[in-house]
Amino acid sequence: MTGFVDLRNVRLTYGGTADGTLALDGLDINVKKGEFAAVVGPSGCGKSTLMKLATGLITPQEGTVEVAEKEVSGPVSIAGMAFQNPSMLPWRTTLANVMLPLEIVQPHRSKLRREKASYVARAEDLLKLVGLAGFGEKYPWQLSGGMQQRANLCRALIHDPALLMLDEPFGALDAFTREELWQVMRNLHAEKGFTVILVTHDLREAVYLADKVFVMSARPGRIIKEREVTFERPRPIELTYENAFNDIVHELRGLIADARAAA
Ligand SMILES: Nc1ncnc2c1ncn2[C@@H]1O[C@H](COP(=O)(O)OP(=O)(O)OP(=O)(O)O)[C@@H](O)[C@H]1O
């Protein structure tokens, strides 16, 4: 069965095939529509490269990349992205930052001027969903790191993407704020039903949020394990202190330790 995001037998070398860096080799990954997938693996194994391939920022030398049953040959407009650094524009209010993609992505770009009020309402609804109701007129530098990352998630979702790509979005936050943001992410996914691929070094984060965790080998990266996580949703944060949860975290930790040792 083809998935919503489907990479097959992908090989990607940076900087020329002869003397470049072979980042991925023989990588297969299949994420179904609406699924929350997490990708974990040793440092430098090619996780961000996988994200760049799935969003069409780079193309592989070998293999195929399909999103929504279409071969990817350029930037994927149905994807929203959020990274570790929210990089909000300091001269724009939070609301104006959240609305930025609408000025770029079609069909919103053409409709923005005419339908401004409904787009503003959409942005305000998103801010409310992540707990930032009333903060739209503040500037990013008036927000805490956790609040900026909440706004960053809104910006990634403002054009209603079918696919959300998250690359270490909670990595720079303290442990408590991170757990709050996990719950925000859990609620957004339940409410909107988009497909998610989350790259993370935090195995607890992967197991808490994902339906399926993909474990990568050391570079050149490929998928060495696909681990289903079947805990009932919505998942309470207390789940992360239960034995069944920690057993999966330890299992993943063991796989990554072995992958590092084999490198
Ligand atoms: N633009 C580039 N040019 C050359 N080499 C690159 C480029 N981007 C990444 N690489 C190399 O490709 C390999 C995979 O990098 P990538 O960033 O995908 O790994 P990662 O798993 O996301 O890393 P980390 O866990 O440290 O965030 C690394 O060896 C990296 O140095």
CA angle at residue 204 from 44 to 127, to 5 degrees?
A: 95
Which of 223, 206, 192, 177 is CA-nearest to residue 45?
223
Predicted pLDDT at 1: 46
CA of 26 to the centre of ligand 1 (A): 16
Q: Which two tokens stand for residue 218?
A: 């050391």
Residue with the nearest Cα to atom 12 of ligand 1? 23
Rounded to whole angstroms, the Cα distance separating 247 from 263 reads 25
User: Phi, psi at residue 111, to the nearest 5°?
Assistant: -95, -10
Atom of ligand 1 nearest to the CA of 43: 25
User: Phi, psi at residue 217, to the nearest 5°?
Assistant: -75, 170
Predicted pLDDT at 2: 63
CA of 47 to the centre of ligand 1 (A): 8
Atom of ligand 1 nearest to the CA of 52: 18
- 3-state SS class at 73: coil
Protein residues with CB under 6 Å of any ligand 1 atom: 14-15, 21, 23, 43-49, 219
CA of 44 to the centre of ligand 1 (A): 5
Where in the chain are the domains?
90-159
Q: Which two tokens stand for residue 24?
A: 């991925």
- To test the ligand 1 pocket, which listed residue (11, 29, 49) has its Cβ within 8 A of the most ligand atoms? 49
Q: Which two tokens stand for residue 206?
A: 């992967």
- Contact between residue 197 and residue 39 where contact means Cβ atoms under 8 Å apart: yes
- Contact between residue 83 and residue 167 where contact means Cβ atoms under 8 Å apart: yes
Residue with the nearest Cα to atom 15 of ligand 1? 46
- The ipTM (two decimal places) reads 0.97
CA of 52 to the centre of ligand 1 (A): 11
- E strands of the chain, at which residues? 5-14, 21-31, 36-40, 62-67, 70-71, 79-83, 163-167, 195-199, 212-216, 223-228
Q: Where are the alpha helices (DSSP H) in 203-242?
A: 203-209
Atom of ligand 1 nearest to the CA of 46: 18
Taking each continuous run of H as one helix and of E as one strand, the counts in the chain are 8, 10
Sign of the torsion angle spanned by Cα atoms 56, 61, 67, 73: positive
Residue with the nearest Cα to atom 17 of ligand 1? 48
Mean pLDDT, the chain, whole residue set = 94
Atom of ligand 1 nearest to the CA of 24: 14
Residues of the chain with pLDDT under 50: 1
- Give per-residue pLDDT as tens, 55-108: 999 999 999 999 999 999 998 989 999 988 888 999 999 999 999 999 988 898
